[in-house]
Structure 1
């Protein structure tokens, strides 16, 4: 598989794009409605209008406790920005949707990225976004069993994107 991510902001923002042959409202529902989000990422509970929800990831090897995500921006059906902090770091995420040629383009950005995490973060987002594609297309999503063989080889390519070789292999 080829990596699709690029870096912006001197390597501090990871950007990945996926294109869908469905209307923008369908993609929006897949990233904002808990039931649809569950098909590829996880579920959320709570009241988004409060500015916070609890997200439980369901595609991981070992589901963890729900993580609190702040809703930083929600402009249906074009922009969702959320943020969280956990033992793996800071997560500043945005999903921007645009109608293009009768379909929809989703641009995912992870901002304030620690460049040292890119060799793991890049393949992880590739996997999740491919799961989103499969959920929208109604096909079988990539499984965790194939992650190490199909996605982790991208790690080297992602490490090479880091400006100045800031990735430490130790």
Structure 2
């Protein structure tokens, strides 16, 4: 993965553009359905539809690490949500899906982020999504596997963000 990374004042914009070997309806389900999100990303609570609000519990179960509101939705093609990580100002996350030869293109655009950790974090999650859509029942290793991959990716993202 080689996302676009831009700096605007003291905030960043990340854009990931990846093709997944699955149909648009399956990928939409993987990125918008609570039980599937929990397999490759995190446990979400709330209402994941237009106007709905959501929260993500912290891995220790002691509160949340983020919340948001779904501000636009055109199933199965796109959704937009606010993304409010604990301790940060709200940002915007847009996910677009498009059928292409060999599967479905996912364009993930996260704008207004304040932390460089999103680069390695999103890549680690999107790699888990790749494995999830290849085999929805596969064991992905949970939080420990994500943390290990994040640690591997972090130095290259530190360098990329540092060069901006």
Normalised by the size of structure 1, how large is the TM-score?
0.77
Runs of 4+ in 1 over 6 A off after TM superposition: none
How far apart, in 2, do the equivalents of 1:24 and 1:39 lie? 18
Q: CA RMSD in A?
A: 2.5
C-alpha deviation, 1:140, in angstroms: 4.7
Kindly indicate whether the alpha-carbon contact (under 8 Å) linking 2:96 and 2:106 is maintained by their aligned counterparts in 1.
Answer: yes
> In the alignment, is residue 94 of structure 1 matched against residue 94 of structure 2?
yes
User: 3-state SS of the aligned residue for 2:39?
Assistant: coil
Matched residue, 1:17: 17
- Measure, in 2, the Cα distance between the counterparts of 1:98 and 1:35: 23
Q: Spell out the pairing of 1:1-170 with structure 2 (5 A cutoff).
A: 4-8=2-6, 10=8, 12-49=12-49, 51-57=51-57, 60=59, 62-66=60-64, 67-85=66-84, 86-114=86-114, 117-118=115-116, 120-138=117-135, 139-141=138-140, 143-160=145-162, 162=164
Give the alignment's TM-score, normalised by structure 2. Answer: 0.79
Where structure 1 has 5 or more consecutive residues not aligned to the other structure, the ranges are 163-170
Question: How far apart are residue 39 of structure 1 and its match?
Answer: 0.9
Range with bigger deviation, 128-137 or 82-91 = 82-91
2: distance between equivalents of 1:55 and 1:14?
22
Q: How many residues align?
A: 155
